[in-house]
């Protein structure tokens, strides 16, 4: 259990790592990291009870700073590593942090099948509508008509809805919030980590350096305020829905896998007891 009187940020961060972080001034990823840490602290988990797995990209750097068990893996493959970890250490709380490109572009197939299997992993997708680390290319979530380095006249691709993809693929828990709603991040992460099955928390976060500048947005404060003004915890026409979108009971993959192993072992033991098996 985490010490009751220890400040969460001091207890759960690697104090000897070089700070400040690599993230740009005004970036929303640090807010998301703080929300995840407070969500873990809300559950009173020790550092050794949690594993964070990340891929490549701005969000991928998060696993460098937190003092959990961590894996900093390859682009788009964080959920594949996390799946192996969860099957090997089923008692561990596994959090996978990914950007929108990492999760649903190069990692899209892993995202779909992790949801389909409904393995108990909390997937936090930081959606900043761009590829921030590599220079501001359009991502699967870049809004129609918005500017990116590879779409200088505006994106003509329809944006992907991460939460609808997670729901359709079979995730047992799906939620959305924004970097403006910092307390909501904490609550949703804690709730997601308490669920049995694949849990997705999409956090819409601002990228003032590439996405903001390319689309002539004033600055990080104004971008945060846009999330405040254009999202809602209820279904309101013209606003992006926040909060818990899906919460359902479904068979969890790890449990089903262990039952299958037991069944196979019992079958093999029964065959040996009857003198069965392959000769030679």
Task: Please check whether residues 196 and 268 belong to one and the same domain.
Answer: no
Question: Structure pTM?
Answer: 0.92
Specify the higher pLDDT residue, 66 or 275: 66
Give mean pLDDT, residues 90-102: 97
Give the angle 157-173-96 at the CA atoms, nearest 5°. 70
pLDDT in tens, 246-256: 999 999 999 99
Q: Is 66 left (phi over 0), alpha (psi -120 to 50) or beta?
A: beta
Task: Please check whether residues 169 and 259 belong to one and the same domain.
Answer: no
pLDDT in tens, 9-20: 788 999 887 788
Task: Please check whether residues 259 and 129 belong to one and the same domain.
Answer: no
pLDDT in tens, 41-58: 999 999 999 999 999 999
Task: Please check whether residues 234 and 264 belong to one and the same domain.
Answer: no
Task: Please check whether residues 208 and 229 belong to one and the same domain.
Answer: yes
Is residue 1 assigned to a domain? no
Task: Please check whether residues 212 and 276 belong to one and the same domain.
Answer: no
The strand pair at 231-232 and 240-241 is best described as parallel
pLDDT at 127 over 90: yes
Is residue 3 assigned to a domain? no
Place of tokens 């020790």: 46
Task: Please check whether residues 213 and 264 belong to one and the same domain.
Answer: no
Q: Give the structural domain span for 270.
A: 252-280
pLDDT at 273 over 80: no
The pairs formed by 265-273 with CB atoms below 8 angstroms and a separation of 24 or more are: none
Is residue 183 assigned to a domain? yes
- pLDDT confidence bin for 189, thresholds 50/70/90: very high
Is residue 65 assigned to a domain? yes
Residue 7's pLDDT is 74
Residue 91's pLDDT is 96
- pLDDT confidence bin for 269, thresholds 50/70/90: confident
What's the chain's average pLDDT?
93
- What percent of the residues of the chain are helix, what percent strand, and what percent coil, each to the nearest 5? 40, 20, 40
- Count of structural domains within the chain: 2
CATH of the domain at 139: 3.40.50.970
pLDDT in tens, 152-162: 999 999 999 99
Is residue 67 within 8 A of residue 47, CB to CB? The reply is yes
């Amino acid at each position: 259990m985490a010490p009751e009187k220890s400040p969460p940020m001091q207890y759960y961060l690697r104090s000897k790592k070089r700070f400040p972080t690599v993230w740009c001034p005004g970036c929303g990823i640090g807010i998301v990291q703080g929300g995840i840490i407070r969500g873990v602290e809300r559950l009173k988990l020790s550092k050794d009870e949690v594993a964070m797995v990340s891929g490549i990209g701005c969000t991928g750097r998060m696993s460098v700073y937190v003092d959990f068990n961590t894996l900093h893996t390859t682009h788009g493959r964080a959920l594949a590593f996390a799946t192996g970890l969860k099957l090997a250490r089923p008692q561990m709380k596994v959090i996978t942090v990914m950007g929108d490109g990492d999760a649903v572009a190069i990692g899209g197939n892993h995202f779909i099948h992790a949801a389909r299997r409904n393995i108990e992993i909390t997937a936090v997708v930081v959606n900043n509508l761009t590829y921030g680390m590599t220079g501001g290319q359009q991502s699967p979530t870049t809004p129609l008509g918005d500017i990116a380095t590879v779409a200088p006249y505006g994106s003509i691709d329809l944006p992907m809805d991460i939460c609808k993809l997670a729901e359709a693929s079979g995730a047992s828990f799906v939620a959305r919030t924004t970097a403006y709603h910092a307390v909501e991040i904490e609550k949703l992460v804690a709730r997601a980590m308490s669920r049995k099955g694949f849990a997705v928390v999409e956090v819409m976060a601002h990228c003032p350096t590439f996405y903001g500048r390319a689309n002539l947005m004033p600055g990080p404060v104004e971008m945060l305020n846009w999330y405040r003004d254009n999202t809602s915890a209820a279904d309101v026409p013209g606003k992006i829905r926040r909060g818990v979108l899906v919460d359902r009971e479904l068979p969890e993959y790890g449990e089903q896998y262990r039952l299958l192993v037991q069944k196979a072992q019992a079958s093999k033991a029964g065959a040996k007891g009857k003198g069965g098996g392959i000769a030679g």
